[in-house]
Amino acid sequence: MSFKPAEGGCLCGRVRYRITAAAVTADLCHCEQCRKQAGAPYIAWIAVRPEHLVWLKGKPAKFESSKGHFRHFCRDCGTPLVMTGGAEPDKVGVTVGSLDEPDRFPPKAEGWVSRRLAWLHPLPGLAQHERDNPEF
């Protein structure tokens, strides 16, 4: 099966990227850091191999949100774009909300459900992980 490259970028258009191969997985993360980064109850991610993420325009700024974990964002408009580092250095997390066609990447799991806000309910059909999604 052939993968149609996916593109995305920030709100102001100063940073653009392309994904050249299928995502390893897709999930929703309920951890406190992701909630703060997104300014939302959770954030949707896809995981891709670093060699399959190509920066087309601009370079994101980065912030070390915890030891060895870097969150990359547009320095002009603040759009969260990717996350690198941590326990899975062979994967890059890409924010689904920054993709041009986010519907192409539905989540398969929810991570950090132990931190899910009390007024949210599990989404039907998604694997539930108390902590990190082991596929991410």
For strand 25-29 and strand 16-19, is the pairing parallel, antiparallel, or unpaired? unpaired
Residue from 54, 22, 120 nearest 128 by CA:
120
pLDDT number for residue 136 = 79
The secondary element (H helix, E strand) that includes residue 76 is none
pLDDT number for residue 89 = 80
- State the CB neighbour count (10 A cutoff) for residue 31: 19
Q: Give the domains, in start order, of the chain with CATH numbers.
A: 26-118 (3.90.1590.10)
- The number of C-alpha atoms within 13 Å of 20 and in the hemisphere containing its C-beta is 8
The secondary element (H helix, E strand) that includes residue 32 is helix 32-38
The torsion angles phi and psi of 98, rounded to 5 degrees, stand at -90, -5
Q: What is the pLDDT along the chain (136 residues), one digit of tens a residue?
A: 689 999 999 999 999 999 999 999 999 999 999 999 999 999 999 999 999 999 999 999 999 998 888 999 999 999 999 999 877 788 999 999 999 999 999 999 999 999 999 999 999 999 999 998 888 7
Burial class for 43, CB neighbours closer than 10 Å (0-12, 13-18, 19+): buried
pLDDT number for residue 1 = 65
